Structure 1
C-alpha cells in the first residue's frame, strides 16, 4: 500500500460533472480510448462537482496573469476497469521497450517492471478503502496551452515513466531550455495549489483535491491537521 491509502474516506456523495469545453482545452482524441481502454458510455472528462469548481478557479487565476491561456485536460475521471487496462498496457509497453518477452519474464524481472509501473500508476484496486485516485473523480492530469492553443513545453510528455516526470526535475539545471520547462511547471503548480489542489510527488501533471492523496499531502504540509478524504470510487456499478 502507498502511504495515502491509509487515509480514511468519508464519502460526501457529490456527483460527477462534465468539464466544460471550450472553457478548458480537452485532449482529443483521448489517448486512452485510442489504445482501446474500456470507457463504455463513461467519459474521462468528468470531475466531482467541488473539484470542478476549484478547477474553474485555477483557470481564472491563470487567465488573470496570462490572458488567453487555458488549462488543458489530458485525463480526469477513470473507471477502475480503465485503470486496470492502462496498467496492463503500460506493463506490456515497458517490457517491450526493454526487449523482454512477457511469456518469459523471470519473477525478478516482473517485480522490477511492476515497481516502475506503480511508481507512476496507481494499483487498480477494487477495495473501497483504497480506490485509484482517478477513479474517485478527485484527480486530474493537466498541462497548459497558450493564447494560440499551442501546448506549453513542459520538458516531458504526460505519463512518461522516467525521472523527467518528477515536478522539480529541471529545478537545478543551468540550461536555458531546461529552466523554461521548470518555470512552466512552476506556473502550473502555482495556480493549481492556489486553487486548493495538491500535486502528485512524482508527476508534474497530476493534481488532486478531496481524495486520499490530497488528504495525505495536506497533512504532510500541515502535520497538525486532521484531514479525511471525501471522495471514494464512483461509477463502478
Structure 2
C-alpha cells in the first residue's frame, strides 16, 4: 500500500455507499461539463493505524528533507515539525468521538483526469506540504498558467459541492460528506441551521 502502510486487508478505496453515490453524482456533473474527463480517487479509507503510520512516515521524511538528525531534535523542534505534518495529516485519534476524517469512510482525496487518464494540472501534487496546497493559492495570480490551475481547482470543487461535499479549507484535493469536518464547515457557513455529523469511525 501507499509508502508501505499495512491496511490489513482493507481497501484504501473503501467508501460508505452513501458517499460513493455522491461521488457518482459529482462524476455525472463533471461529464456534463467535460464529457471525457473523470474524477480519479487518490485515497479514501484509512484505518487509524495507517493514519498513524503516515504521520510518522511524513515526520521522518521532513526530518530527512531538512537535513536534521532525528536523534538530536529538541522537544521544540519536534513539536514544530509535527505542527507542519498535521497541516496535511489529521491527528490519528483512536477516540471514537474524534476520528480522523479518512477513518470514517466519508472523506476522499481526488483529482481529475482527462480522456487519456492523465491528471489535469492543479498546481501542486496531492499531499504536498506547502502553501501551494491551499485551495485558493493561485486565486489572485495574474499568470495565465496559475490562473489555469485555479480554474481546474474550482472545477473540482464545483462538481463536488454540487453533490453535497465540502472541501477541506487547507487542501484542494480533500472532500468529505457526513463526517465531523463536513458538519463543522456546514455549520460555519450556515450557523442558523446546525447539523451533526452522521458518519463516525468505520470499524
Q: Give the structure-1-normalised TM-score.
A: 0.84
The aligned counterpart of 2:109 is 141
The aligned counterpart of 2:139 is 171
Query: 2:63 & 2:162 partners in 1: Cα distance?
Result: 39
1:101 aligns with 2:69: yes
Residue correspondences, number: 203
Query: 2:90 & 2:113 partners in 1: Cα distance?
Result: 27
CA shift, 1:136, in A, is: 0.2
CA shift, 1:204, in A, is: 0.1
Query: 1:48 & 1:101 partners in 2: Cα distance?
Result: 42
1:49 aligns with 2:17: yes
The aligned counterpart of 2:47 is 79
The aligned counterpart of 1:40 is 8
Match runs of 1:133-212 below 5 Å: 133-212=101-180
The aligned counterpart of 2:96 is 128
In structure 1, the gaps of 5 or more residues are 1-32
Please list the CA deviations of residues 76-117 of structure 1 after superposition, one character each: whole Å capped at 9, or x if unmatched: 000111000000000000111111111110011001101101
Structure number with the bigger relative contact order (C-alpha 8 A, sep ≥ 6) is 1
Query: 2:46 & 2:187 partners in 1: Cα distance?
Result: 25
**Contact 2:186/2:194 (<8 A) preserved:** no
Alignment partner of 1:129: what SS?
coil
CA shift, 1:40, in A, is: 1.7
Alignment partner of 1:47: what SS?
coil
The aligned counterpart of 1:113 is 81
CA shift, 1:34, in A, is: 4.0
In structure 2, the gaps of 5 or more residues are none
Query: 1:63 & 1:183 partners in 2: Cα distance?
Result: 16
The aligned counterpart of 1:69 is 37
Query: 2:99 & 2:107 partners in 1: Cα distance?
Result: 12
The aligned counterpart of 1:4 is none
Query: 2:3 & 2:196 partners in 1: Cα distance?
Result: 35
Alignment partner of 2:87: what SS?
helix
Q: Which aligned runs of 4 or more in structure 1 are off by greater than 2 angstroms?
A: none
Alignment partner of 1:229: what SS?
coil
Q: Give the structure-2-normalised TM-score.
A: 0.98
